[in-house]
């Protein structure tokens, strides 16, 4: 079953601008969408804050966790920290309700 990951980036306005620049750059979401196990990635901008949310569909939670581990190894944590951005990830499953 497909796993849904919601990655919520808690940003201030400067951090949100930096994150949007990163995500739209050559090492951003185009790389995410091509990563093994990625099915769909959509970007949501909050109307009430500077938060940015990624709605992500993955083959499995393990695929997403491997991707996040790779991003951390390649400097994502440092980028987020230096731009005052906090990341929260939660996992969900679609239901037939």
The pLDDT tens digits of the residues spanning 15-68 come to: 999 999 999 999 999 999 999 999 999 999 989 999 999 999 999 999 999 999
Question: Would 97 be classed as within a structural domain?
Answer: no
Question: Would 9 be classed as within a structural domain?
Answer: yes
Tell me the two tokens of residue 55.
Answer: 């709605």
Please tell me the total count of domains within the chain.
Answer: 1
Q: Where are the alpha helices (DSSP H) in the chain?
A: 13-24, 29-34, 61-73, 76-82
* Amino acid 79: pLDDT: 95
Question: Would 68 be classed as within a structural domain?
Answer: yes
CA angle, residues 14, 22, 41, in degrees to nearest 5: 115
Paired with 42 in beta bridges are 55
pLDDT category of residue 80 using cuts at 50, 70 and 90: very high
Domain that holds residue 49: 3-92
Task: Count the Cβ atoms, other than its own, within 10 Å of residue 22.
Answer: 16
* Amino acid 48: pLDDT: 92
We report the CATH number of the domain holding residue 17 as 3.30.70.100
Q: What is the CA radius of gyration of the chain?
A: 13
Question: Would 80 be classed as within a structural domain?
Answer: yes
Question: Would 39 be classed as within a structural domain?
Answer: yes
pLDDT category of residue 96 using cuts at 50, 70 and 90: confident
**pTM for this structure?**
0.92
Question: Would 49 be classed as within a structural domain?
Answer: yes
Task: Confirm if 67 and 35 have CB atoms less than 8 A apart.
Answer: yes
């Amino acid at each position: 079953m497909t796993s849904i990951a919601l990655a919520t980036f808690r940003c201030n306005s400067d951090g949100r601008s930096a994150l949007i620049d990163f995500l739209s750059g050559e090492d951003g979401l185009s790389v995410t969408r091509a990563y093994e196990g990625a099915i769909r990635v959509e970007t949501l901008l909050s109307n009430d804050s500077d938060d940015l949310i990624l709605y992500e569909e993955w083959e499995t939670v393990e695929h997403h966790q491997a991707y996040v581990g790779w991003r951390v190894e390649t400097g994502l944590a440092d980028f987020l920290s230096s731009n005052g951005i906090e990341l929260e990830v939660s996992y969900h499953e679609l239901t037939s309700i």
